[in-house]
Amino acid sequence: MELTEDLKSYILETAQSLKGSTLRLFMARTVQQFGRGGQRLAQRELGWNRETLRKGAHELDSGITCCDAFALRGRKRAEEKLPTLFDDIRAIVDEQSQADPQFRSKRLYTRLSAAEVRRQLIAQKGYAEDAVPAESTLSAKLRALGYYPRKVQKSQPQKKS
């Protein structure tokens, strides 16, 4: 069976609008319409993966949808890997932070940079060098905890006018 260009473009546009199990079921039904050798034809002409086609055919035959589990993929957050990280950061940074000198905001300003917090986590808290998150990650964690690594300015007295 040969596919015309119009039919190919129609099938591919439809497939692009679907995701997950609905896409696999569409692919399986399409291959089923092609008949014998449909998987190889779909692989060659449409660029579809045969493993995905087999999974879709299995879902179509059994009626059971396979879970995609996208939420279980990817890298875990630093606080999930190191459960005491936030407490240790607070212990280090609380000593060196102060409130806004003019009390205009509730932010806590700290004299420590993210690099210095990283060094102190290794030195004081005993973290391994490769286990501590990078400086950019620590900077984001400091902001999430409400600390802003900035140079703390003293409040200036008003000039007499």
The answer to whether residue 158 is domain-embedded is: no
Claim to verify: residue 82 and residue 57 sit in the same structural domain: no
Residue 125 CB neighbour total at 10 angstroms: 16
Q: What is the pLDDT of residue 155?
A: 64
Q: pTM of the full predicted structure?
A: 0.51
Specify the CATH number for the domain of residue 85. 1.10.10
The count of domains in the chain is 2
User: Can you give the residue range of the structural domain that contains 16?
Assistant: 5-62
Q: Based on the fold, state whether residues 56 and 107 are members of the same structural domain.
A: no
pLDDT of residue 104: 73
pLDDT for 154 equals 62
Same domain flag for 43 and 102: no
Average pLDDT for runs of 10 along the chain of length 161: 85 91 92 90 91 92 84 85 92 79 72 88 91 91 81 66 65
Shared-domain flag, residues 45 and 107: no
Domain match, 94 and 51 both: no
Q: Any long-range contacts for 40-49 (C-beta under 8 Å, 24+ apart)? A: 41/1, 41/3, 45/3, 45/8, 46/3, 46/8, 46/11, 46/12, 46/15, 48/15
